[in-house]
């Protein structure tokens, strides 16, 4: 357990913190995942960062399936009610479960072993980058292999897709996770805030 997660707190405080953070992550996903604001401002998609942040902070394991269900619901509504493309909605969609699971576990590992301080940010960034790469292998690689859109799928054929799409995904994930880290450090320094602790 990191130094930032050492102070005990009553269960109601923990549940309240988890609920507030989940509501914030859900709101950001609702704003960015369907790209409904693209007409006004382009916001990079936050899903990978949302699962990382949820894994880092939220104690309840129910947050993972709840966040995944939210993403699924957003996709269904976007496709069926908002005229979005169903190109990505194939059997490979379920590869998002391990893809998001990697980010969730990276967040939990970071909270338990590293924490957030300016000196430890490079280690957190390294974990995030590694997790994002593995996550992309599940999501993008899974889509390439299992969607049916690429009947002659090979690793050699997937690598150019990794080179094309992964940098943008990584930048978006780093940006949103960076916002969360800055907010954490500022809240800790300016308001003496710490994350309510409970056993994980």
Of the candidates 112, 33, 41, 35, the residue with the CA atom closest to the CA atom of residue 68? 33
Q: Residue 70 falls within a domain, yes or no?
A: yes
pLDDT confidence of 118, banded at 50, 70, 90? confident
**pLDDT over 50 at 57, yes or no:** yes
Structural domain that includes position 151: 3-191
Give the chain's domain count. 1
Q: What is the pLDDT of residue 35?
A: 62
Q: Residue 92 falls within a domain, yes or no?
A: yes
Q: What is the pLDDT of residue 13?
A: 73
Q: Residue 199 falls within a domain, yes or no?
A: no
> Global pTM?
0.86
Q: What is the pLDDT of residue 80?
A: 87
Task: Tell me whether residue 125 is exposed, middle or buried, using C-beta atoms within 10 angstroms of its C-beta: 0 to 12, 13 to 18, 19 or more.
Answer: middle
Task: Tell me whether residue 2 is exposed, middle or buried, using C-beta atoms within 10 angstroms of its C-beta: 0 to 12, 13 to 18, 19 or more.
Answer: middle
Sign of CA dihedral 108, 112, 115, 120: negative
Mean of pLDDT values over 45-73: 94
Distance CA 141, CA 154 (A): 10
Q: Residue 198 falls within a domain, yes or no?
A: no
Q: What is the pLDDT of residue 199?
A: 43
Q: Residue 16 falls within a domain, yes or no?
A: yes
Distance CA 68, CA 145 (A): 22
Q: Residue 142 falls within a domain, yes or no?
A: yes
Q: Residue 200 falls within a domain, yes or no?
A: no
**8 phi and psi, to 5 degrees?**
-80, 155
Q: What is the pLDDT of residue 64?
A: 96
7-36: per-residue pLDDT in tens? 445 567 778 889 999 999 999 998 888 765
pLDDT confidence of 43, banded at 50, 70, 90? low
Q: Higher pLDDT residue, 36 or 49?
A: 49
């Amino acid at each position: 357990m990191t130094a930032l997660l050492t102070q005990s707190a009553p269960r109601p405080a923990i549940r309240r913190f988890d609920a507030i953070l989940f509501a914030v992550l859900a709101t950001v996903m609702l704003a960015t995942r369907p790209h409904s604001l693209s007409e006004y401002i382009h916001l990079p998609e936050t899903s990978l960062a949302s699962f990382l942040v949820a894994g880092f902070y939220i104690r309840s394991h129910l947050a993972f399936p709840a966040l995944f269900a939210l993403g699924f619901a957003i996709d269904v509504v976007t496709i069926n009610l908002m005229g979005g493309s169903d190109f990505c909605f194939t059997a490979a969609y379920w590869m998002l479960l391990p893809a998001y699971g990697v980010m969730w576990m990276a967040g939990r590992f970071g909270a338990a072993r590293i924490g957030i301080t300016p000196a430890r940010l490079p280690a957190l960034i390294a974990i995030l980058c590694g997790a994002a790469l593995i996550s992309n292998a599940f999501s993008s690689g899974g889509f390439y292999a299992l969607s049916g859109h690429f009947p002659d799928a090979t690793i050699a054929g997937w690598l150019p897709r990794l080179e094309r799409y992964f940098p943008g995904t990584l930048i978006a994930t780093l940006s949103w996770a960076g916002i969360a880290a800055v907010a954490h450090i500022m809240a800790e320094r300016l308001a003496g805030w710490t994350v309510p602790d409970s056993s994980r």
